[in-house]
């Protein structure tokens, strides 16, 4: 875990040099009167179309694609940014400025921005569960922390639906802890319900989604499918995990983001149209190849200056970054298919 955290901060601090990162118009000094999020206020949204935030950032190379056309909404649930081992609470306080800044200039910048070319991006702040919730033996405390976080996500989504959606197409997107909540949100609000008709795609990445988790929300079979789910977890080719993946007793949804298929065909790095890693402005084509192996996605070691220092074989932090432009292109493809169906 320490190696992953070091890599997170490497990306975070590198981002500060990017001239194309959106100037943040948000407020980090707000205080919740009762400790609960107030989703009628923009302070409680890490990303929102009514303010300028890091999700509005566009890498320089992609600015040439032309004017944004936000004809759909992306509801993005960010991953865990509460990793301080000295943090006593099981959940982040909603107005913790340190956690909120880390959230905005790491996953909101590097992940939520993938969806900004075709979507208005909504990303709620929430009382996220501490990282220890996913490793502790105190399962009762962990479950309570995760449930608290989900209740915030649920309330944010209800507020979004009631006030801003107006029957627009929806993309659900998430990473890591966010995917835990997104998977549940899809089951509660979309599967077998009218809202499923508005679902373009669910990009729920970084946590395993069993193939039988949904009865009426299928996994996406190719790049054109809509109303479906894509998911993957990224490891270095040849790495066999012994702590959690190898113990899984189910088959997970695994999508290859270079082919958008679920077969085990090896897809060469020349199909990777660009990752965003150390510097947000720099799009790195061919950064990794990809091949599905069991319940995970195997890739080559990412190609970028300084990768000699990247020793971890678990590329969880790069699940989205490594395929940044491929995801952006696929959002456009699926949305076009959704609109003509």
Q: What local confidence, expressed as pLDDT, does residue 14 receive?
A: 37
Answer whether residue 93 shows pLDDT above 70: yes
Torsions phi, psi of 9, nearest 5? -70, -30
SS3 179: helix
Contact of 277 with 110, CB cutoff 8 Å: no
pLDDT tens digit sequence for 216-241: 999 999 999 999 999 999 999 998 87
Q: What percent of the chain has pLDDT over 90?
A: 80
Contact of 290 with 272, CB cutoff 8 Å: yes
SS3 131: helix
pLDDT classification of 10: cutoffs 50, 70, 90? very low
Paired tokens of 306:
């300084």
Query: Pick from 104, 97, 129, 103: which is nearest to 31 by CA?
Result: 97
CA distance 233 to 171: 19
Q: What local confidence, expressed as pLDDT, does residue 244 receive?
A: 84
pLDDT tens digit sequence for 12-70: 333 333 445 555 567 899 999 999 999 999 999 999 999 999 999 999 889 877 567 78
Torsions phi, psi of 203, nearest 5? -100, 90
pLDDT tens digit sequence for 59-70: 988 987 756 778
Contact of 281 with 18, CB cutoff 8 Å: yes
CA distance 279 to 321: 11
Q: What is the phi-psi region of residue 240: left when phi exceeds 0, alpha when psi lies from -120 to 50, beta otherwise? A: beta
CA distance 234 to 242: 15
Query: Pick from 270, 319, 341, 286: which is nearest to 114 by CA?
Result: 319
Paired tokens of 264:
């085990």
Q: Residue 329 CA to chain centroid, in angstroms?
A: 16
Q: What local confidence, expressed as pLDDT, does residue 312 receive?
A: 81
* Stretch 135-163: mean pLDDT: 97
What torsion do the CA atoms of 232, 186, 199, 46 make, to the nearest 10 degrees? -80
What torsion do the CA atoms of 341, 267, 114, 66 make, to the nearest 10 degrees? -70
């Amino acid at each position: 875990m320490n190696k992953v955290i070091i890599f997170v901060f490497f990306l975070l601090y590198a981002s500060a040099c990017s001239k194309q990162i959106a100037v943040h118009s948000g407020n980090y000094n707000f205080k919740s009167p009762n400790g609960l999020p107030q989703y009628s206020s923009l302070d409680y949204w890490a990303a929102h179309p009514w303010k300028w935030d890091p999700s509005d950032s566009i890498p320089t190379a992609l600015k040439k694609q032309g004017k944004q056309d936000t004809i759909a909404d992306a509801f993005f649930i960010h991953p865990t940014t509460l990793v301080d081992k000295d943090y006593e609470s099981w959940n982040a306080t909603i107005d913790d400025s340190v956690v909120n800044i880390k959230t905005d200039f790491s996953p909101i910048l590097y992940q939520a921005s993938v969806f900004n070319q075709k979507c208005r991006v909504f990303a709620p702040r929430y009382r996220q569960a501490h990282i220890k919730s996913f490793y502790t033996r105190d399962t009762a405390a962990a479950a309570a922390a995760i449930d608290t976080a989900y209740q915030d996500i649920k309330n944010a989504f209800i507020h979004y639906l009631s006030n801003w959606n107006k029957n627009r197409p929806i993309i659900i997107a998430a990473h890591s802890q966010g995917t835990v909540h997104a998977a549940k949100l899809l089951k509660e609000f979309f599967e077998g319900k009218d809202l499923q008709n508005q679902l373009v795609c669910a990009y729920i990445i970084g946590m395993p989604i069993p193939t039988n988790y949904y009865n009426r929300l299928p996994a996406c079979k190719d790049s054109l499918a809509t109303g479906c789910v894509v998911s993957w977890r990224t490891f270095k080719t040849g790495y066999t995990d012994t702590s959690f993946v190898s113990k899984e007793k189910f088959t997970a949804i695994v999508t290859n983001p270079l082919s958008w298929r679920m077969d085990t065909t090896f897809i060469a790095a020349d199909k990777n149209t660009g990752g965003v890693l150390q510097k947000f402005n720099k799009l790195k084509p061919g950064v990794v190849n990809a091949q599905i192996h069991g319940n995970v996605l195997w890739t080559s070691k990412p190609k970028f200056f300084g990768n000699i220092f990247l020793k971890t074989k678990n590329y969880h932090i790069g699940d989205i970054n490594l395929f940044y432009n491929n995801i952006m292109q696929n959002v456009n493809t699926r949305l076009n298919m959704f609109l003509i169906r």
